[in-house]
Structure 1
Amino acid sequence: MKKIFLLVFSLFFVVASNFAQEKKNKKEVQQGHIDQNKFRQLKDVLATPNDQHTASGAPGSQYTQQKVDYVMDIRLEESTNKIYGDETITYHNNSKDQLDYLWVQLDQNMRADDSKTPLAKSTGASAFITPKNFQNTYMKEGKGFGFNIEKVESEGKPLSHFINRTMMRINLPNPLASGETFKFRIKWNYKINDINKDGGRSGLESFPDGNNNYTIAQFFPRLAVYNNVEGWQNMQFWGRSEWALEFGDYEVNLTVPADHIVDATGVLQNEKNVLTKTQRKRWEKARTTFDKPVMIVTQAEAEKAEKGRTSKTKTWKFKAKRVRDFAFASSRKYIWDAMATNVNGKTVMAVSLYPKEGNPLWEEHSTRAVATTLIEYSKLTFDYPYPKAISVHSERQGMEYPMICFNFGRPNPDGTYSDRTKKGMIGVIVHEVGHNFFPMIVNSDERQWTWMDEGLNSFVEILAEDVYDPVLFAGNPAKNITRYMSGDQSNISPIMSQGDYVKQFGPNAYTKPAAGLYILRKTIMGPELFDHAFRTYSKRWMFKHPTPADFFRSMEDASGMDLDWFWRGWFYTTDVNDIGIKAVKPLYLTDKPSERVAKLKEQYKQYFDGLGDLVYITDKKEDANPKAMDKYAEGKEVPSYIYSVEFEKPGGLIMPLIVELTYADGSTEKQTFPAQIWMKNDKTVKRVFASTKEIKSIKVDPDMETADVDTSNNSWPKKESKKFDEFKNKVKN
């Protein structure tokens, strides 16, 4: 064996030396280049690992994060649609740093009269416009939105602060050392926006009967994140990219009209004070009912309540531990149902609140969809740690908060609905409830990296929806993303782009990351390997602040797979996948060497003598001898059909090469070659297929698993269109 190796090496050396000498004789000067191979490592892109964010993708021994606790008294004034708040904040400096100031988010200021958000949009004049739109666009009047900060104080003394649009800097009286806490108070109020008229992520929906549905979030001044990656995450809120928040404990008293039904982040502390005996009895039944929702407030009761009004109030008290935010919903119109959900032996309550306008769709599906989401997400990540998950119906919303979310999906006024409406409603519930996992627990920075919560969540959503209704949600994410990826490159952004300047936000942050992870799981890694790695990442970063590098590194660390080529191509570029068949050449066994081989045998006689007996492969059918291998076959059937296939890759993305062979007898065989087949040449590769049966056709990516944007080159023989066949027949006739 060593002798043959040396002969082969010597032959290669001679040929290479001759080639080099020819280049030298021509006196060509070649320019050097850097490594541009698409399998090169991501070390030039990812942040340098350290003792806080390690090279394995796990939190390091020196990882720290802040804690912020809130005690709040909130009053919802229905007559003026205003919220009044008084909050005491306790800030825990767990970092190693001394802090001179704190940054507080004032998200409601995004819609204030002096907001810069409308001015940051390029607008042109329309040739026609409705009078109402003209008035709203060119005759604007101030609406008085935004926070009114009444007091900022500590220990009863005014606290120096400065408001910069959607951020407020709290100037500390003394530097806050590592390990110390600082307690201060903010008193404030603001006017609630009408979601359908004024827009917004939260607010109120008004009904013709004079009632409102209040779905309230971003309603209080909240501490920005201070971490060991960004320092203060105090980027302005422009209305799109969402939030970076710290975990903490909440005690919230919500004072609302006495005839309202309320639910919120956390556990209700005073059921006896705010619920009737009948409601409490039904709620207790729901706690032990796992097969179907139990009605806590029926539709008939909700319809009766919405006809009344009261000037009295009730205060609902909630406590929440280890949450990054707080939201609530309040209305006298609510129907309320709930059921118990078994998450690996722990009972979690799945809850829905909705006005009659949501029925019958919501009564049939909302709470069941919540329960399915909790179970399926827990399988792929970690057991859901909170006591409940609530789905609240609002006509035009889809927003998420710890333990509670607001969702659209409304049937027609007569109660009928299409499959499209049903699919949209179930889909948004699964998606928004799923956000409890990403980013409410795996707490990524939404302001910077939208895909880290939306994309990961959209991926797990696909798997959960398939369990809920595999017929309604049948689809192929890899195939569906090709239209977006093959679009105008000037209107596409890499996934790894900050959310505010991303083009085509939905496909970029939601569907492309989800499709990529779907391909990674189904085609590249396989479910078993992928699921272990994904669970590892999720558990590592529960209740912590991961970065993109932590995700990429964890997936590789827990799987034993080098995926840098995938992250680089799918996440950092807008390259597309296009793999096709360039040429197919039938080959034949023979006992006759070709003229070229005969010359080589004569030139390198010693090498060939060392190889012993030989059979040959030729592309000349007339020289074929199918029996040339018979005496060496040792009773095994010799492949009589040999095909040399050259595959091309016009697209810039690297993907596995999936090939389906269809034989003359109608049987098929699929062969998958790993992405690494493109390591040496990412333009073309060759493979030889040998079979005892004639191959009638070859197809690349037959099930459309790899997001191939152009399938016209995927088949051999090349398929011609029906119109072209008709044209040929006309010419022939």
Structure 2
Amino acid sequence: MRYLRLINILSAVGLFATATPAAAQTTDSIKYNHQDLFGPITWPVTGQSTRTASGQPSATYWQNRADYQIKASLNEGKDTTVTGEVNITYTNNSPDKLDYLWLQLDQNLFRPDSRGAAVTPVTGDRFDVRGFSRGGYNIASVTVTYKGDTYTVTPVITDARMQVRLNVPMDGKGQKIQVKVNYDFAIPYYGADRMGRKKFKQGYVYEIAEWYPRMCVYDDVEGWNTLPYMGLGEFYCEYGDFDYSITAPANMVVVGSGDLQNAEEVLTPAQLAKYNQAKNSDKTVTIISAEEVGKAATRPFKGTLTWHYKMQNSRDIAWGASNAFIWDGARVNFPSGRKGIAMSAYPVESSGNDGWGRSTEYLKNSMEIYSKAYFEYPWNSAVNVSGVALGMEYPGAIFCLSNLKKGGLWGDVTHEIGHNWFPMIVGSNERKYMWMDEGFNTFINEYASLQFNNGEYADTSKQAQHILAGFRKSKDPLMTAPEAIGLNDYGQYYNKTALGLDMLRNVVLGHDRFDYAFHEYIKHWAFKHPLPYDFFRAMNDAAGEDLNWFWKPWFFTTWKLDQAVTSVKYVKDNAQNGALITISNLEKMAMPVDMLITQANGKTETLHLPVNVWQRNGVWTFKYPSTSAIKSIVIDPEHELPDVDLQNNVYKAD
């Protein structure tokens, strides 16, 4: 309400009508140039008329598809391996003929000679990609079936990508081709903080991801997207259906993305009963307790068992396996009335009410909050696995660090499952535009923390200045690709992006307009591949506001914000005649101006000036209808903005 109310007040008293000449007010300290910010901006035309000017997929939008059938085995030994066969049905919905296909071989990151290993600093980093002697895929065979003809292909492997050159070009407009790959790889101990294996008291926990050759995306903007996997930059995947089976030692529990198809075959009758009970309970139900782990009555100890899962319309899958798992679950209640299940699997070292004993509660509540607020979770289950990965997300499966507790665990769980909305539902290109998933997700995490358990872990302090410290010295803007950004600067993908969305919601548009536009973006791009320009256009169009003055500096530059109160003078030297207040925009970025004005008679008022006051120059004088002397003025009293100099935000009368 305050946005409309205050603008109406300002208009009524004529505050926008009186301004002193800008040139007379400009000083050498002002870096601001209104032409840089408010000059014409036209975002690139993307696609082949497949994306609209309003930031939506057009009627001619197309997207290719990859459906997977995978059979894999977990083979414990000195170098524990995954051996698999993946059958991919690839549908070319584009209008283009394809002479070759590209696949991602993400495990090749862990080869000693990988590009990721080559660019890892000698001091190491969070991802610590140095490779190991058995790292990477061994591709045993590749066969192609197209229009009834099956033939073997010798693939061309370059780092973490594999090209399959076709004997006959693949037609477009819905044609299908089958690619079968037989492969194996050794599981790294520390898989770039995204997967791996870790030993606990009662056995290894395996967090398995990037575990099958998968299709690169061929899209309407760039054709084949073949940027290599090098560590920080994550993934860009096609959507499709997954049918996969994991054969593992019989004493292990295997949890993963999607719906378990053969629970009766892999669970004891007691476990099956508890599993079904968990599906119908809002309270966490223990399926395998700490006391049952490792007991002969709980799991068979000889041979192997095959766990069969399915997941529809997903862009990826992951799984975890261990003989050390405590396993629990609870029902998830979706807005439509549909029910699902949230689960956690963790070793005894992680257990306890301060730790992973509440993991399922955190997961369930996050899924319900995001489903209600943004888009209903489209799958039936999700599982959180405790292990070596600090935090990593996959559709329906997340990995969190084993020793996290209380707010640390809540934050990790709600963040990683939040990624199921960005980029698992809204399928952006993480390898190029990391802010589109990490930043959007960090933004929605704030609101989940406010809602969960009456704000048990909510941070209600204003974070703008704290976040500012994390990116104010960065030389790289948000549009920088992950593999090119400073290794100490990628945190801004998370925090600077989220702060920018908070500023739009709280200062520029207001909650209703922002939320409506953001929901429109999610609705139109669910299970599709948006670009940054689609997001910018979608928000502009649905909010009814040309926000290009914000998108340009916040995402494409490292410009700073510095608003200041320059002077206060009274009309005819009498405060009862009104005050002429001059404010300045000293740095290159601009924002609306909120000012808390306190008069000597005790009257206080917060004024909201739109960003348009900076459209012609960096100095603005307006008339305020004071009735007594102004005691103080504070710019941005709610601390919503990352102003680089807070001292000049405050005016105090002598």
Q: Same fold (TM over 0.5)?
A: yes
**Paired position in structure 2 for 1:605:** none
Aligned pair partner of 1:317 in 294, 308, 311:
308
Higher relative contact order (CA 8 A, sep 6+): 2
The alpha carbon displacement at 1:322 in A equals 0.6
**Paired position in structure 2 for 1:110:** 109
Measure the CA separation in 2 of the matches of 1:523 and 1:409. 39
Aligned pair partner of 1:193 in 183, 188, 195:
188
Do residues 166 (structure 1) and 156 (structure 2) align? no
Do residues 258 (structure 1) and 194 (structure 2) align? no
**Paired position in structure 2 for 1:379:** 372
The alpha carbon displacement at 1:256 in A equals 0.7
**Paired position in structure 1 for 2:598:** 662
The 8 Å contact of residues 160 and 172 in structure 1, kept in 2 or not, is answered as no
**Paired position in structure 1 for 2:558:** 574
The alpha carbon displacement at 1:384 in A equals 1.1
The 8 Å contact of residues 192 and 231 in structure 2, kept in 1 or not, is answered as no
Measure the CA separation in 1 of the matches of 2:576 and 2:296. 82
Per the alignment, do residues 280 and 311 of structure 1 end up closer, same or farther by CA in structure 2, a change over 3 Å counting?
A: closer
**Paired position in structure 2 for 1:652:** 588
Aligned pair partner of 2:613 in 677, 680, 685:
677
Per the alignment, do residues 230 and 210 of structure 1 end up closer, same or farther by CA in structure 2, a change over 3 Å counting?
A: same
Q: What amino acid does structure 2 have at the position aligned with 1:257? A: P
The alpha carbon displacement at 1:35 in A equals 8.7
Deviations 1:440-487 (A, max 9, x none): 111001111011111111111111111125353313232322213432
**Paired position in structure 2 for 1:368:** 361
The alpha carbon displacement at 1:666 in A equals 4.0
Deviations 1:129-184 (A, max 9, x none): xxxxxxx99xx995211100111113563213211110000011210001211112
The alpha carbon displacement at 1:492 in A equals 2.8
Aligned pair partner of 1:183 in 166, 178, 182:
178
Q: What amino acid does structure 1 have at the position aligned with 2:63? A: Q
Counterpart mapping for 1:614-629 below 5 A: 617-619=571-573
Per the alignment, do residues 435 and 142 of structure 1 end up closer, same or farther by CA in structure 2, a change over 3 Å counting?
A: closer
**Paired position in structure 1 for 2:468:** 482
Q: What amino acid does structure 2 have at the position aligned with 1:698? A: I
Do residues 229 (structure 1) and 221 (structure 2) align? yes
Deviations 1:368-418 (A, max 9, x none): 21122112222332111110121111244211111000012516xxxxxxx
Q: What amino acid does structure 1 have at the position aligned with 2:135? A: F
State the SS of the aligned residue for 1:320.
strand
Per the alignment, do residues 686 and 506 of structure 1 end up closer, same or farther by CA in structure 2, a change over 3 Å counting?
A: same
Measure the CA separation in 2 of the matches of 1:476 and 1:430. 20
Deviations 1:630-658 (A, max 9, x none): xxxxxxxxx82622111111121111101
Q: What amino acid does structure 2 have at the position aligned with 1:320? A: M
State the SS of the aligned residue for 1:513.
helix
Measure the CA separation in 2 of the matches of 1:49 and 1:223. 20
The alpha carbon displacement at 1:47 in A equals 3.2
Aligned pair partner of 1:707 in 625, 636, 642:
642
**Paired position in structure 2 for 1:642:** 578
Counterpart mapping for 1:31-430 below 5 A: 36-43=35-42, 45-48=43-46, 51-80=49-78, 81-121=80-120, 123=122, 143-154=133-144, 157-178=151-172, 179-195=174-190, 199-207=192-200, 209=201, 211-290=203-282, 292-302=283-293, 304=295, 310-344=301-335, 345-360=337-352, 361-408=354-401, 410=403, 421-430=405-414
**Paired position in structure 2 for 1:416:** none
Measure the CA separation in 1 of the matches of 2:175 and 2:558. 46
Measure the CA separation in 2 of the matches of 1:35 and 1:423. 44
Per the alignment, do residues 395 and 194 of structure 1 end up closer, same or farther by CA in structure 2, a change over 3 Å counting?
A: closer
The 8 Å contact of residues 438 and 444 in structure 1, kept in 2 or not, is answered as yes
The answer to which of 152-161 and 104-113 deviates more is 152-161
Q: What amino acid does structure 2 have at the position aligned with 1:330? A: A
The 8 Å contact of residues 46 and 221 in structure 2, kept in 1 or not, is answered as no
Say which structure is richer in helix. Answer: 1
Q: What amino acid does structure 1 have at the position aligned with 2:604? A: T
The alpha carbon displacement at 1:51 in A equals 2.3
Measure the CA separation in 2 of the matches of 1:444 and 1:353. 29
Counterpart mapping for 1:497-536 below 5 A: 497-503=480-486, 504-536=488-520
Aligned pair partner of 1:457 in 441, 461, 479:
441
The alpha carbon displacement at 1:316 in A equals 0.4
Per the alignment, do residues 648 and 471 of structure 1 end up closer, same or farther by CA in structure 2, a change over 3 Å counting?
A: farther
The alpha carbon displacement at 1:114 in A equals 2.1
Measure the CA separation in 2 of the matches of 1:508 and 1:141. 27
For structure 1, the 5+ residue unaligned runs are: 1-14, 20-33, 126-135, 412-420, 588-616, 622-638, 720-733
Per the alignment, do residues 176 and 260 of structure 1 end up closer, same or farther by CA in structure 2, a change over 3 Å counting?
A: same
Per the alignment, do residues 147 and 175 of structure 1 end up closer, same or farther by CA in structure 2, a change over 3 Å counting?
A: same
The alpha carbon displacement at 1:49 in A equals 7.0
The 8 Å contact of residues 49 and 55 in structure 1, kept in 2 or not, is answered as no
RMSD over aligned CA atoms reads 2.5
**Paired position in structure 2 for 1:726:** none
Measure the CA separation in 2 of the matches of 1:121 and 1:410. 26
What TM-score does the superposition give when structure 2 sets the normalisation length?
Answer: 0.89
Measure the CA separation in 2 of the matches of 1:142 and 1:214. 18
The 8 Å contact of residues 208 and 320 in structure 2, kept in 1 or not, is answered as yes
The alpha carbon displacement at 1:673 in A equals 0.7
Q: What amino acid does structure 2 have at the position aligned with 1:252? A: Y
State the SS of the aligned residue for 2:93.
coil
What TM-score does the superposition give when structure 1 sets the normalisation length?
Answer: 0.79
Deviations 1:61-99 (A, max 9, x none): 111111111111100012241110011111111111000
Per the alignment, do residues 409 and 472 of structure 1 end up closer, same or farther by CA in structure 2, a change over 3 Å counting?
A: farther
The 8 Å contact of residues 111 and 134 in structure 2, kept in 1 or not, is answered as yes
Measure the CA separation in 1 of the matches of 2:255 and 2:476. 39
Aligned pair partner of 1:696 in 614, 626, 631:
631
The 8 Å contact of residues 478 and 519 in structure 1, kept in 2 or not, is answered as no
The 8 Å contact of residues 422 and 440 in structure 2, kept in 1 or not, is answered as yes
Deviations 1:1-30 (A, max 9, x none): xxxxxxxxxxxxxx9xxx9xxxxxxxxxxx
Measure the CA separation in 2 of the matches of 1:472 and 1:305. 40
**Paired position in structure 1 for 2:28:** none
The 8 Å contact of residues 244 and 309 in structure 2, kept in 1 or not, is answered as yes
Measure the CA separation in 2 of the matches of 1:500 and 1:180. 35
Q: What amino acid does structure 2 have at the position aligned with 1:564? A: N
Instruction: Select the structure of larger CA radius of gyration.
Output: 1
The alpha carbon displacement at 1:664 in A equals 2.8
Measure the CA separation in 1 of the matches of 2:288 and 2:595. 57
The alpha carbon displacement at 1:116 in A equals 2.8
Q: What amino acid does structure 2 have at the position aligned with 1:298? A: S
Measure the CA separation in 1 of the matches of 2:206 and 2:123. 34
